[in-house]
Chain A
Amino acid sequence: MTTLQGAPRRRVSRKAVTAWLFLAPSLLVLVAFTLYPMIQAGYLSLTDYNLIRAAEWVGLDNYVELFADPAFWNAFWNTVLYAAVVTPVTVVLALMLAVFLDRQFVGRAFVRTSIFLPFIVSLGIIAIAWTFLLDPNIGLLSYWLSQAGFVAEQGILSDPRWAMPAVMFVGVWKNVGFYMVIYLAGLQSIPEELREAARLDGANAWQRFRNVTLPLLSNQTMLVSVMALIATLQAFDQIYVMTHGGPFFRTETLVMLIYRQGFQELRFGYGAAISWVLLIFVLLFSMIQYLFFQRRQVKY
């Protein structure tokens, strides 16, 4: 249908209606229970709020304060460090394990299940197990290491140099199995003919991997990298249990700081401001990552 001037009139097509209907249940729930609270949190970030008394408007004071707060910057750089290490390590390790498990050998299913198992156990409980194992005096791991000649004077978790690597390790350990499974699925969907063809062309294992396998895994790599990055920027459970952000805040990430400001200092407005800064930061980086992979996406 066109108007008298000849410009096409905007009209809601039936296809669009169908699309919105498909989206409706999810969108309604998301808007009501995630988007709205998120915006409410944005509002709270402009207030002084302790949950008991009504929120008091303070404008941008919280933001001004946080950019000058050394605790914020400490948490910020800890978060960046954690994400910058754990994300690539997890992704690369997941890929390596997937390649390793892609071939047949006795016990393959057992190994695959074992590596995946950490993903489905409760992180809170298993972090307690890790803490016990790493206890400097009665922990099994510490004991074995000392028998092997590595004597740690102080516990790993209370040593300022080793606390962060320890929580990073647990972070990788927890999720690598899930990403490995995604890569496995991807590997198994690569047609064998392509690899055969490459072998016949004289390519060696590494060349085959780099030029055939890896590019065909781009979709998976993108998915896994985005998931891993977001997960690392939100890391909380194992840090809370194992080090509680210590020793002297060396492992305090932004999410830990938000928790501390909100639930321990009772400053929800300030905590909300920090969470919005984190959100924008996550957004930026995930967007960059997403666009980076978008260009390389394999289309079928």
Chain B
Amino acid sequence: MATTRKHRYTSTQSIIKWLSTFAGIVIALAVLLPVIWMVFTAFKPESDIVSYPPTLWPRELTFEHFGAVWDRIPFARLYVNTIIFAGTVTVVSLLFDSMAAYALARLEFRGRSLVLILILILLMLPFQVTLIPLYDLLNSAGLTNTLPGLIIPRITNAFGIFFLRQFFLSLPKDLEEAARVDGASEWRIYSRIIMPLAKPALLTLGLFHFQYNWNDLLWPLIMSADVSSATLPAGLALFMGQHVVEYGLLMAGSLLSLLPVVAFFLIIQRSFVAGIATTGLK
């Protein structure tokens, strides 16, 4: 009978749904294990961290590390530096990357393949390869230990260009074609039609750039005169002594440092997924 079949179908479906929930929670906890450890460690007194048998849950709860972090390193200043660095790089990068991606995806011109190949090559370059020559270059230009010197080499990114190009290629051409026929300039098409459609991709890429630069240790450290003019990862590295690692301080500092990135993700998460669903991305 139709209703029984439907009942069976629905209850199989709900079993699957609850199994999914269960499996999902297990997977999530397993994936989160180091992060969970990090959170609990930040609340343990140092002597509790290195102990046997090891426990996840603190035997004793303390907030001392969260306070001490602000005293031991110029945490507030580093926070500001990092926000400026990661924030500026992200915003400018989204603009420049999308412009270049638009040209590569939608405009015909001689040399297009060459530029694309160049972008791909630069994409594959490991950072360690260019670190020293780049430093030498900025040094001769007097840009080391300065904020512009820190930011400018990062304000565009081969990965961002590639990522957005792929995304733009998948957008339907109808709206643009119509606009072009109507005589709209490329800039108008780019800013009024393409960019709004690209919101999900821009948010994803923005998060990528933000977290990459937020967590970058080597570049800001090399480019700053001292730790207080560098970024958060540099400050946190000071808790790693040569012989003794101060785990409590390190984890507390890392948690505090993680908050903006997580916040960013949570904010864009909803609009990002919704955006994809309603966009003309077919």
Contact = CB atoms under 8 A, between A and B. Distances in A.
A184 B273 contact: yes
A119 B28 contact: no
B247 interface: yes
Nearest to B36: A129
A279 interface: yes
B121 interface: yes
A34 B27 CA distance: 40
A64 interface: no
Nearest to B262: A120
B34 A26 contact: no
Interface in A104-123: 104-111, 113-123
A125 B208 contact: no
B4 interface: no
B24 A19 contact: no
B109 A38 contact: no
Contacts of A155: none
A279 B125 CA distance: 6
Contacts of A32: 137
A120 B153 contact: no
A120 B137 contact: no
B20 interface: yes
B238 interface: no
A81 interface: no
B34 A133 contact: yes
B28 A123 contact: no
Contact of B120 (A16, A286, A300): A286
Contact of B124 (A18, A35, A182, A233): A233
A212 interface: no
Interface stretch (B63-71, B73-81, B274-282): B274-282
Contacts of A58: none
Contact of B38 (A100, A115, A126, A276): A126
A139 interface: yes
A188 interface: yes
Given A116-B265, A230-B124, A268-B132, A18 B107 contact: yes
Interface stretch (A1-9, A70-78, A160-168, A255-263): A255-263
B248 interface: no
Nearest to B33: A133
Nearest to B123: A230
A33 B153 contact: yes
Contact of B215 (A106, A122, A233, A234): A122
Interface in A61-104: 97, 100-101, 103-104
Contact of B52 (A26, A29, A124, A137): A137
A23 interface: yes
A185 B200 contact: yes
B210 to A, nearest CB: 8
Contacts of B161: 26
Given A138-B54, A185-B276, A120 B265 contact: yes
B124 A122 contact: no
B34 A37 contact: no
Contacts of A173: 31
A23 B17 contact: no
22 contacts: A18-B103, A25-B99, A38-B122, A40-B130, A41-B129, A41-B132, A44-B132, A106-B17, A113-B266, A114-B27, A121-B35, A121-B215, A121-B254, A128-B240, A129-B34, A133-B33, A138-B50, A140-B55, A259-B128, A275-B128, A279-B124, A287-B120
Given A29-B156, A114-B27, 9 more contacts: A19-B108, A25-B100, A115-B31, A128-B245, A129-B38, A140-B56, A178-B208, A230-B124, A275-B129
